[in-house]
């Protein structure tokens, strides 16, 4: 039949051949909230949200003018609480942003028309998933008890959670946290990201798991982040400790990402559940002093 195909009889009564019926469009979706990482193109305009208040509309436009990509928790924490609640409840971020359903930019709010898969500079804004030691989340373990005693009060329900976790003032409340590289405060991580952004290797593409990071830098960043949280748990200054370690040999044993155990693999259902939990925003605190800039 060549390029002619039939509609499935199960879904239609038509028996007229239709050319290229099953061929994927070469344009991709023009307006949508979420796209697959392997979609050909990204949305070029936002959704019409007539129910949005003027304050919410202005807030979203200002956020996207400031940065082309935001972690939702970071973006909402920048806004007055009533505006943030409105945007979250009505998904008003879709007015001027979209999200990927998977990949290294998963669930970030990305300015419509911007496609970070084709520009290495966006390595600065991609996410990375790390695995924290399992004993940190066991109440019968000394380190687990210490983490719970010191950091149990910091959770995703706090508007300052994103900044505290990325600034290494608190330890994440899930074992497989998803961090946005643009907000990670460790000097070694920022140096590694800039190294990746300046890479002259134009043959490599954006990887679904590592993004624009080559394997070596990806692992190095993961280990640095785990070391930072370990320093915090031990009562040290994570930033100072990270600066001191920048010239030292990279000790690969710190991160257990090389473990073959399928139960602890980064792509396991448990890790995916933790990654999903990282974006659940439940806060209802009164932070009236948090003004939008």
pLDDT in tens, 224-257: 999 999 999 999 999 999 999 887 665 544 444 4
Contact 255, 133 (CB under 8 A): no
pLDDT at 262 > cutoff 50: no
How far is the first Cα of the chain from the last one, in angstroms, to the nearest whole number?
61
| Residue in 248, 245, 199 with CA at minimum distance from that of residue 225 | 245
pTM for this entry: 0.75
Q: Which of 121, 73, 114, 72 is nearest to 93 (CA)?
A: 72
Residues in the chain: 293
Q: Which two tokens stand for residue 77?
A: 């924490």
Q: What is the pLDDT of residues 114-163, one digit of tens each?
A: 999 999 999 999 999 999 999 999 989 988 888 888 887 677 778 899 99
The residue-averaged pLDDT of 74-96 equals 94
DSSP 8-state symbol, 70:
E
Radius of gyration of the chain (CA): 22
In this prediction, residue 261 carries a pLDDT of 38
């Amino acid at each position: 039949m060549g390029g002619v195909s039939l509609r499935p009889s199960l879904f239609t009564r038509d028996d007229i051949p239709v050319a290229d019926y099953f061929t994927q469009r070469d344009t991709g979706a023009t307006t949508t909230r979420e796209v697959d990482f392997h979609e050909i193109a990204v949305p070029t305009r936002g959704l019409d949200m007539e129910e949005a208040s003027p304050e919410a509309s202005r807030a979203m436009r200002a956020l996207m003018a400031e940065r082309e990509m935001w972690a939702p928790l970071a973006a909402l924490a920048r806004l007055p609480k009533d505006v943030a609640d409105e945007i979250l409840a009505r998904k008003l971020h879709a007015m001027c942003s979209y999200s990927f359903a998977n990949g290294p930019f998963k669930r970030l709010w990305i300015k419509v028309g911007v496609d970070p898969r084709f520009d290495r500079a966006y390595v600065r804004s991609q996410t990375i998933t790390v695995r924290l030691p399992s004993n940190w989340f066991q109440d019968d373990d000394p380190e687990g008890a210490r983490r719970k005693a010191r950091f149990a009060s910091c959770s995703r329900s706090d508007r300052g959670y994103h900044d505290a976790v990325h600034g290494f003032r608190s330890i994440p409340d899930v074992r497989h946290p998803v961090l946005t590289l643009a907000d990670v405060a460790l000097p070694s991580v920022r140096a590694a990201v800039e190294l990746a952004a300046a890479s002259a290797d134009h043959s490599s593409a954006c990887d679904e798991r590592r993004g624009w990071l080559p394997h070596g830098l990806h692992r190095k960043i993961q280990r640095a982040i785990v070391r930072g949280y370990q320093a915090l748990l031990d009562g040290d200054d994570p930033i100072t400790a990270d600066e001191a370690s920048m010239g030292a040999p990279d000790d690969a044993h710190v991160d257990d990402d090389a473990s073959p155990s399928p139960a602890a693999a980064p792509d396991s259902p448990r890790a995916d559940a933790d990654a999903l939990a990282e974006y659940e925003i439940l806060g209802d605190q009164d932070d009236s002093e948090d003004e939008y800039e």
